Amino acid sequence: MKKSFLLCVFFLFSTNFIFCQEQILEEQIKEEIIQDKLPEHAEVLQEEIPSHKKFTLGFTDHPEVERFRKLYSSEKWSKNLANNLEKGLSYRMYVRHAIQEQNLPPELEYLPIIESNYKTWAKSKSGALGLWQFMENSVKPFLILNDYVDERLDPWKATDAALKKLTDNYNYFGDWLLAIAAYNCGAGALTRALKKSPEKNFWYLAENKLIPTQTAEYVPKLIAVADLAMNTEFYNIDLPTHSEEFEHLHNEKNAVFDYVTVNAAYSINQLAKAMRLEPETLKELNPAFVKGITHPSLNSSIRLPLGTKQVALDALKKIEPYDFPIKYKVEKGDSLWGISRKHGTTVEALCELNGIKENDILRIGKILYIPSK
């Protein structure tokens, strides 16, 4: 009995010993595997990784991202990037605030750099327009586009529309890289590409040329630019950085306005003069009114400097709206002076209504709007 007991104890002890030895060996093997995968300067890298904590999209080490990161961090490209980020500061702060409010990926702040370099008037060869480069066929239901209003040129409304579109894409595809890709090539095109793909991720689509080259480069460009801009110290790159206090003040100055609503064709230029403002000030706040007037019949919201709403209401009482303008197609031999004489108006009124200058060349077939009063 005693012998059996001792054998049992020995067996248990041996089993535990072997099990512990196996565990130790397994941990050693795991450690060796990890060490094999880590570079020689792993400890240094692990200390530097926190500089990427703000980054949420991931894939900063993808070869395509690295390719564009090298490009944008080169001397020439980094200067252009810094210049565009600085010039677009007013709009970037609005974009950043909107992104934070909606809890969206912070990298989206840099998408207008890829789209337009933060230029509100940018126009592509294919006709995409504005800060977020909306095409005419992609504005609905996000923005208004007609003879008098093109909200693609309004950086504030276009930002709200772009973020709504990106959110819709994300809700549909369930992945931010796919959502961003769809913003570039269209949700329909991306859906068709995914149907042909055995793997439902952006990198597979890009590497196997199932999406256009422009779209395949669009996402890594964004990740590269955002990575550089959000981690300037890590990359030792000279890009604009701004404190939270300055960011808040800039937002207060550039994203909080007063508004008045009208439903007749009022001249933005005349309203500015009646308010004793520089005309350019009001025009910059209302770039969507492409003819320099509000819509003749639909409600139009005029953006104003904060604190000037009553001044604007008083000014509107002093000026008369245009009657519904007449459309005129320019013919061979026409001039602004001749057209103005023919329709009983002035060259100044024609220029103001059509957003042109007196010395502009009139292209045959161009549509001009003629004040009917």
Name the token pair of 2.
Answer: 């005693």
Positions marked active-site: 115
Task: Say if CB 344 and CB 360 are below 8 A apart.
Answer: no
**Shortest CA distance to 180 belongs to which of 229, 117, 109, 120?**
109
Distance between CA atoms of 37 and 157, rounded to whole angstroms? 48
Pairs from 122-128 (Cβ < 8 Å, separation ≥ 24) = none
Please, which residues have CB within 8 angstroms of residue 306's CB and are 6 or more apart in sequence?
A: 256, 257, 258
DSSP-derived 3-state class of residue 329: strand
356: number of Cβ within 10 Å: 17
Question: Which DSSP string corresponds to 42-58?
Answer: HHHHHHHGGGGTT--S-
Distance between CA atoms of 180 and 219, rounded to whole angstroms? 7
Across the strands, what pairs with 326? Answer: 370
Please, which residues have CB within 8 angstroms of residue 47's CB and are 6 or more apart in sequence?
A: none
DSSP-derived 3-state class of residue 240: coil
Please give the sequence-ordered ranges of beta strands (E in DSSP) within the chain, or none if there are none: 258-262, 300-304, 326-329, 367-370
Peptide bond into 141 cis (omega under 30): yes
Q: Which phi and psi angles does 275 have, rounded to 5°?
A: -90, -5
